[in-house]
Amino acid sequence: MTPVLRTDALTKSFGRKRALAECTLDVPAGRVVGLVGPNGAGKSTLLNLAVGMLTPTSGTIEVFGEAPASGMPKVGFVAQDTPTYANLSVDDHLRLGEHLNPGWDHALADARMERLGLDRAQKARKLSGGQRAQLALTLGLAKRPELLILDEPVASLDPLARREFLGDLMEAVAEHELSVILSSHLVSDLERACDHLIVLVDSRVQLAGDMDVLLATHHRLTGPRRDSLPEEFDVVAATHSDRQSSLVVRTDTPIYDPNWTVTQLSLEDIVLAYMGRRANAAQPRTLEAVR
């Protein structure tokens, strides 16, 4: 099956500022992909490149095997801060979707409007943040894309609105077999919803792979303090107190060394370990996706 997103040494610079550097990714279809990283890491840049809003400075990017461009029928987008036309009503936005998308699912849009209870004559500028996000999600879903890309859709929403938004998104994934790429700086949201993760720090891909593989191959090792790092596994992060060393490592093989106490890591721990590394020491670590 064609990967939903494939990039090869993708780089994007704005003037002298490098927003994205040498990103190589291979994202299979049928996943809910979480894109996580601190602000300014390049998440928005990557997503905007994927929908054809930006063009690469160097390297390549392919969505469903083709270069992204404006107006792709297979890809839907919910941009950061969910832009809407302030003076157009909710109903106008739906008509916009209907007129501009041959694949528009009228029944889906109506059903969602019914469930959300939005006043269809209300102008978009009078909607709350959560309502605007739900409107944008409706537009994205009713287009019936094969891939829906969302750039920090819940960043400014209260917890209830966030839960409802993500719940609706997951329901659509269950019903329509939609692939999703979703960026956030909240790992907890992604942990529930995503089955594939990309960690972006300082414009580079630090980690990419299926969630269960990530959780199975990363461990915390605690033991007596050692200043030299062990060679046999990949040390992602290390912290030392005067008597103890704590390492976050990635390894495929079981760890038998009795000096170390091996514990599980939560997804947030893993992401934090990668986020704490220095950019210039970074090497992209791509795990084989389990198909």
Binding site for other proteins (CB under 8 A): 32, 48, 51-55, 69-73, 75-77, 79, 81, 83-86, 88, 92, 95-97, 99-103, 136, 139, 143, 163, 166-171, 173-175, 188-189, 192-195, 215, 264
Which whole-number Å values give the CA distances from 164 to 38, 96, 154, 168, 283, in the listed order?
24, 24, 10, 6, 37
- Residue among 51 and 273 whose Cβ is closer to other proteins: 51
235 has which bridge partners? Answer: 249
CA atoms within 13 A on the CB side of 22: 8
- Listing from the earlier edge strand, what are the strands of the sheet with 5-14? 17-27, 5-14, 58-63
Nearest distance from residue 9's CB to other proteins, in Å? 19
- Residue among 35 and 201 whose Cβ is closer to other proteins: 35
User: Which of 222, 237, 229, 220 has its CA nearest to residue 285?
Assistant: 237
The amino acid at residue 15 is: G
- Residue among 166 and 273 whose Cβ is closer to other proteins: 166
Nearest distance from residue 131's CB to other proteins, in Å? 15
- Residue among 92 and 234 whose Cβ is closer to other proteins: 92
Nearest distance from residue 71's CB to other proteins, in Å? 4
Query: CA-based angle 107:72:70, to the nearest 5?
Result: 125
Q: Residue 171 class from Cβ within 10 Å (0-12 exposed, 13-18 middle, 19+ buried)?
A: exposed
- Residue among 70 and 241 whose Cβ is closer to other proteins: 70
Nearest distance from residue 283's CB to other proteins, in Å? 29
- Residue among 197 and 201 whose Cβ is closer to other proteins: 197
The amino acid at residue 64 is: F
The amino acid at residue 265 is: L
Nearest distance from residue 227's CB to other proteins, in Å? 32
Nearest distance from residue 281's CB to other proteins, in Å? 31
